[in-house]
Amino acid sequence: MSEIKLIAPALPNIPWEDMPEGCAAPMWRHSKNPIIRRNPLPDVARIFNSAVIPYRDGFVGVFRGEQCDGIPHIYLGRSADGLNWQFDEEKIKFTDKRGEPFQPVYAYDPRLIKVEDEYFAVWCQDMFGPTIGIAKTSDFTSFTRLENPMLPYNRNAVLFPRKIGGNYVMLSRPCDNGHTAFGDIFVSESPDMEFWGRHRHVMGRNGNWWENLKIGGGAAPIETDKGWLLFYHGVVNTCNGYVYSVGAAILDIDEPSRVLHRCSRYILTPEENYETTGFVPNVTFPCAALCDGETGRIALYYGCADTYVGVAYTTAERIYDYILKYDNASEEDKELGRR
Ligand code: BMA
């Protein structure tokens, strides 16, 4: 086993199940997946593609709730154990900086990241086409919308959990107005969460078959002594539609546009019924990862078939070993992000 250390606080109450005997895969699924099932709220048909974070003695999360009219919005959830969730029945009510209501027309695929001592929710919303929305909270009761960080069209934004070189850092994936048949991951920086720039290319489609159509950020990058561990999604087109798998890479700690290692194999792909069957079949879509700095345990939260939320487990060592074993980062991946 390769040595790798998570640079993260201890999280003794992280959801966890030991690896099943004989497991050859880099990750294993929670035995009671999916953890969130259909019709979780009176007005919400499905919750999926959602993000959670430790908070006080338990966990909070921002959840993509597909309302019964088909429009996605973000709902707040709380949990003592990270597996059983209680949701607010009403979607999150955002305000602007003056405290006036400021609701997105729709909002989906939220991520939730603690950057230093503040919590940020980041999602995809409408601004004459899809782009990134962002809001800040300190107490999970009021959420203040900030300026949209990116122009349309853009999706899959995720913040790094700390500043790098004094700036906030965000991954995102420029796209089109539809079901985007292309897409690479880029990184941008901001001194103040308002003005974003210094955009760099991080990684592209790379030729691996399972991700040769498009890729996009997933969970917030996890800091390790070997670089940023990134779980992302990769998509292949088939005669039956898109298939979304989970990939993993290690980015340089100071220059995250530089990919140090990238796994040529997916680390999770739709296999179970709840991943292959649902509103959109064959989707595993990572949005968050909890980790325990003490043991190296990692719990990945992912959307299943645009219908459910699932959890899968690994350890820092196991995933790092797997990435190194099947590493095929290209010269373009490894270079300082081109501009
Ligand atoms: C993407 C996003 C995700 C969704 C996926 C599969 O474009 O909209 O929210 O999970 O498609 O439908």
- The per-residue pLDDT for range 222-248, each reduced to its tens digit, is 999 999 999 999 999 999 999 999 999
d(CA 274, CA 25): 19
pLDDT given for residue 2 in this prediction: 72
pLDDT given for residue 338 in this prediction: 85
pLDDT tops 90 at residue 218? yes
* Other Cβ atoms within 10 Å of 96 Cβ, number: 13
Give me 186's structure tokens: 């880029």
- At 285, is the secondary structure helix, strand, or coil? strand
- On whether the CB atoms of residues 301 and 261 are closer than 8 A, the answer is no
pTM of the predicted structure, to 2 decimals: 0.98
pLDDT given for residue 19 in this prediction: 98
- At 210, is the secondary structure helix, strand, or coil? helix
Length of the chain: 339
pLDDT given for residue 206 in this prediction: 76
- 49 in ligand 1 pocket by Cβ < 6 Å? yes
* Other Cβ atoms within 10 Å of 251 Cβ, number: 25
H or E element that contains 133? strand 130-137
- 281 in ligand 1 pocket by Cβ < 6 Å? no
Looking at ligand 1, which atom is closest to the CA of residue 279?
Answer: 12
- 280 in ligand 1 pocket by Cβ < 6 Å? yes
Range 198-216 average pLDDT: 95
Which residue's alpha carbon is nearest to atom 9 within ligand 1?
Answer: 109
| Per-residue pLDDT tens digits for 77-97 | 999 999 999 999 999 999 999
**Percent of the chain at pLDDT exceeding 70:** 100
Which residue's alpha carbon is nearest to atom 3 within ligand 1?
Answer: 109
- 109 in ligand 1 pocket by Cβ < 6 Å? yes
Range 103-131 average pLDDT: 97
Q: How confident is the model at residue 325 (pLDDT cuts 50, 70, 90)?
A: very high
- At 71, is the secondary structure helix, strand, or coil? coil
Q: Ligand 1 centroid vs 180 CA: distance in angstroms?
A: 10
The one-letter code for the residue type at 217 is G
Q: How confident is the model at residue 256 (pLDDT cuts 50, 70, 90)?
A: very high
Residue showing tokens 């990684």? 203
- At 89, is the secondary structure helix, strand, or coil? coil
Range 165-184 average pLDDT: 97
